[in-house]
Amino acid sequence: MSFSISLSGLSASQKDLNTTSNNIANSNTFGFKESRAEFGDVYSTSIFSNSKTTTGGGVQTSTVAQQFHEGSSVYTNNPLDLRITGTGYFALSNDKLSSADVSLTRNGAFHLDKNNDIVNSEGQYLQSYDVDKDTGQVTSYEPRPLNVPDKFGQPRPSQNVDISMNLPAAGAAKDVSKFDFSDPDTYNKSTSATIYDSLGQPYKMTTYYVKDNAAPNSWAAFYTVTDANGEKPLNVAEGTSAGANGHLGHPLTFNPDGSVKSINGGKPIVTVPLGGTGAKIDLNGADEKQTLTFNFDSPTQYAAPFEIRRFSEDGATTGYLSKVDIDPRGNVMATYSNGENVNLGRVAMVRVANDQGLSQIGGTQWKVSQESGEALWGEAAQGAFGKVKSGTLEQSNIDMTQELVDLITAQRNFQANSRSLEVGNQLQQTILQIR
């Protein structure tokens, strides 16, 4: 009987040693959760034994339970490195076309594959939800792989330019008829912006402001466009202010209180086509009928410095991916070279009722089981789900000092049980040698 007791002790000590060794080996594995070997005694009686004097039958391994408390953080420069602060798991799928069979992980080391899908080191796809690009709200809780397009948007020609500014009342009056954009002495102020044609080709558009010496509280605005061949005048349709060489602009007239009185005499401020009979811009095959409409938003003439409050246009060129950011709610924001910021989706989160009931499959991943309860899907920073931190990974929750103590303890237990087995063997040999 002592042999079986000692052997069970050896087996338990070996199990404890194996568990501790596995913890130490994975001390640098991101998202790893330490295991703890839990034991119970073996006790059996029969009708031929006295329960009061039964010594027990040894020890057995009850379970090797994982401990799911959080590990510490390690900060990286990769925005696709993610950690969850709080409850929840990332969901991974092996099949890009189906999310029916997912595994769970706390290891958030992700990157883009050759197709710009967000995947882990094993090529599994990170699951996400579709969101409304305007409101940012989840539109469907059907998980899907998250793709980050390397290009975004078709070229969009500039059609409207919104302007809001203050022209200084103390500006020096000048002769509008002598305006020449190449001579800084003929105008008071200027500002520039980039516009785009129908092919997405960019051009520099400059607006010049001249305080008119012929009329009080009156200014003239002129426009130019710069292409590959240089700066060229852009004439205003139905323009009435003429500069040098017939460059047509338009007047801006203000009231004594500084508010705008009239813009181009009440006529619509629309430029002629960029090509053709307009400024003869080299459009390289783009739409020559493109026009620009200038919308002034309450311009003023105060005794204050020249100030541009707003100068924006609605055109855009094709954008190329420049960076990816992920906020605490798991929104994946892609920034493109054309200035577009696009919400591509929201990282899906999963939790279960009983973490220790999850079934280990290796690779710091788990599967849902009957003991864990069904998978509960949700969003980061909502309800019981934790937040997502970008540029951060969760280290293993191993306490190396405690593991080394456990290693020594397991070693001593193994030695003690070996000694017990040796003593039992000696006693048996003594009995066998009695004559």
CA-wise closest residue to 365 among 350, 344, 380: 350
CATH numbers and ranges of domains, the chain = 2-69+400-432 (no CATH), 73-152+320-394 (no CATH), 160-313 (2.60.98.20)
Which mean pLDDT values do the consecutive 10-residue runs of the chain (435 residues) have? 72 85 91 87 65 70 86 92 95 89 94 94 94 86 92 86 93 93 94 90 93 91 90 84 85 93 83 67 84 90 93 86 93 88 93 93 93 94 93 93 88 80 74 72
Task: Give the pLDDT confidence score for residue 435 in this predicted structure.
Answer: 60
Task: Give the pLDDT confidence score for residue 165 in this predicted structure.
Answer: 94
DSSP summary character for residue 255: -
Contact assessment for residue 132 and residue 140, using Cβ atoms and an 8 Å cutoff: no
**Cα–Cα distance, 305 to 169 (Å, whole number):** 9
Contact assessment for residue 187 and residue 273, using Cβ atoms and an 8 Å cutoff: no
How far out from the chain centre does Cα 219 lie? 47
CA angle 297, 202, 156 (to 5 degrees): 70
CA-wise closest residue to 341 among 137, 208, 104, 153: 153
Cβ neighbour number for residue 257 with a 10 Å cutoff: 9
Write the DSSP string, 290-314. Answer: ---EEEE-S-B--SS--EEEEEEE-
**Cα–Cα distance, 229 to 243 (Å, whole number):** 22
Which three-class secondary structure state does DSSP give residue 283? coil
**Cα–Cα distance, 102 to 89 (Å, whole number):** 11
Task: Give the pLDDT confidence score for residue 47 in this predicted structure.
Answer: 58
Task: Give the pLDDT confidence score for residue 51 in this predicted structure.
Answer: 63
Cβ neighbour number for residue 394 with a 10 Å cutoff: 25
Strands 138-145 and 248-254 turn out to be unpaired
Task: Give the pLDDT confidence score for residue 345 in this predicted structure.
Answer: 94
Phi-psi group of 369: left, alpha or beta (phi > 0 → left; psi -120 to 50 → alpha; rest → beta): beta
How far out from the chain centre does Cα 295 lie? 35
